[in-house]
Structure 1
Amino acid sequence: MNGIMFSLEELGVIDKNDAEIQKEALSLLKESSDDLVYKHKVMKQAYSSSADNYSFDQTKSNIENYLLKKK
């Protein structure tokens, strides 16, 4: 969440002509939002009875995606 908030703040105050900083901020925004989505999927499976819980392959995929982001 902090990465998303920081990226949005940066996009709000940077020089609109500085494409490199915009690119870095958008990259951080994408990375942070992907991380948040993967965390949500893992927590949803761990603490709820979602439809994803009925598929071992889906559970495995969600956990692998989450752990890959942590490397």
Structure 2
Amino acid sequence: MRTVTLDILDDNALNLLKDLELLKVIRLRRDDQPEISLSENLVKKYKGSMVSQSKDEIDNQLENLRNEWV
């Protein structure tokens, strides 16, 4: 087995590679680095945005929202 790095220039090439993977000719792997930075950005973006609430408070809010549509 050999590892090769490719630059995808066209989405059609990616589709062809996925087809080859389905045929069990190759195995595609994603780079871990971009996914880690993306998840870190999401954590920073949404950290602290939700307030800790009891189940009863959440149920009451949902009931109020549902009643607004009636």
Asked whether the two chains share a fold, i.e. TM above 0.5, the reply is: no
Higher relative contact order (CA 8 A, sep 6+): 1
Answer 1 or 2: which has greater helix percent.
Answer: 1
Q: Whose Rg is larger?
A: 2
